[in-house]
Amino acid sequence: MAVLKFRVYWEEDDAIYRDVLVKHTQNFQDLHFIILKAFEFDQKHDATFYRSNDTWQRGREISKEVYDRPYKVPPLLMAETAISTEIIDTNQHFIYEYDFVKSWSFLIALIQVIKNADADLNLEYPLVSRIEGVGPMQYGTKGLLGEKFADIEEKYDLNEGADGFGEEGEEDTKGADDGGDDGDDAEDSSDSDDDDTQEEDNNQDNESGSEFFEGEAF
């Protein structure tokens, strides 16, 4: 038995990658699942591998299933294809595509073959051995929150009044209009003297209270 170490790069940023270890007797379905685990993706979507070369050209597919689309050559199936049967040289390349709608693409390079004598047989393969960089978010923030976020949106109408205080301001304006102008002039004239007296008292209070706030301001 030998252990194969693959480096799996996110196609859009080769500084983001995961190293995974698989036994040469395991199949491409095992590799498929460990890649999804390494990048914290779910297992809900379609997927396929492509044989590739140093220039990342796409060759024959090793697919999760036979999809309803044209093929130049019928694909191999992940669950039936051992990884070792597709290793042509020590620098073997594959391309992995997940979720054909989103078209997540990863570039896979064989970087090491660990012989049986050097392999840790106590480990459970496949496994993730190294993580570099923050991986892409499969669905984005809202997708991670899922249905709970949708419930919150519906309960609190987060999409309405998005600018903040429009509705509250409208209620205040409406309340002012409903009050009307009857008797307001009389109240204003009767309260004006009281306001002048209150303003004088406030000025005196401020002068005396200012002693406590000299030096530092809040």
Structure tokens at 129: 């051995």
In a domain, 153, yes or no: no
Q: Which residue has the tokens 């005196």?
A: 204
Residue 153 pLDDT > 60: no
The answer on 124 and 173 residing in a single domain is: no
The answer on 181 and 85 residing in a single domain is: no
Residue 112 pLDDT > 70: yes
The answer on 9 and 81 residing in a single domain is: yes
Other beta carbons within 10 Å of 75: 19
Given this model, what pLDDT does residue 198 score? 54
The answer on 175 and 135 residing in a single domain is: no
Check if the beta carbon of residue 50 is closer than 8 Å to that of residue 16. Answer: no
- Structural domain that includes position 113: 3-141
Given this model, what pLDDT does residue 116 score? 81
Instruction: Give 211's DSSP letter.
Output: G
Residue 95 pLDDT > 80: yes
Given this model, what pLDDT does residue 196 score? 53
The distance from CA 210 to its chain's CA centroid, rounded to whole angstroms, is 53
Give mean pLDDT, residues 12-29: 96
Structure tokens at 66: 């036979």
Given this model, what pLDDT does residue 181 score? 53
In a domain, 215, yes or no: no
In a domain, 173, yes or no: yes
Q: Which residue has the tokens 């983001």?
A: 16
Residue 141 pLDDT > 60: no
Residue 156's pLDDT band (boundaries 50, 70, 90)?
very low
In a domain, 155, yes or no: no
Domain boundary among 90, 107, 141: 141
Strands 13-23, 76-77: pairing kind: unpaired
Other beta carbons within 10 Å of 37: 15
Min mean pLDDT across 79-83, 97-101, 172-176 is at 172-176
The answer on 61 and 21 residing in a single domain is: yes
Min mean pLDDT across 67-81, 84-98, 138-152 is at 138-152
In a domain, 216, yes or no: no
The answer on 170 and 91 residing in a single domain is: no
The listed range with the strongest mean pLDDT (128-137, 139-148, 172-181) is: 128-137
Check if the beta carbon of residue 85 is closer than 8 Å to that of residue 24. Answer: no
In a domain, 160, yes or no: no
Give the residue with greater pLDDT, 188 vs 44. Answer: 44
The answer on 134 and 31 residing in a single domain is: yes
Given this model, what pLDDT does residue 142 score? 44
Residue 178's pLDDT band (boundaries 50, 70, 90)?
low
**DSSP calls for 113-178:** EE-TTTS-TTS-SSEEEEEESPPPPSSHHHHHHTHHHHHHHHHHTTTTTTTSSHHHHHHHHHHHHH
Give mean pLDDT, residues 5-26: 96
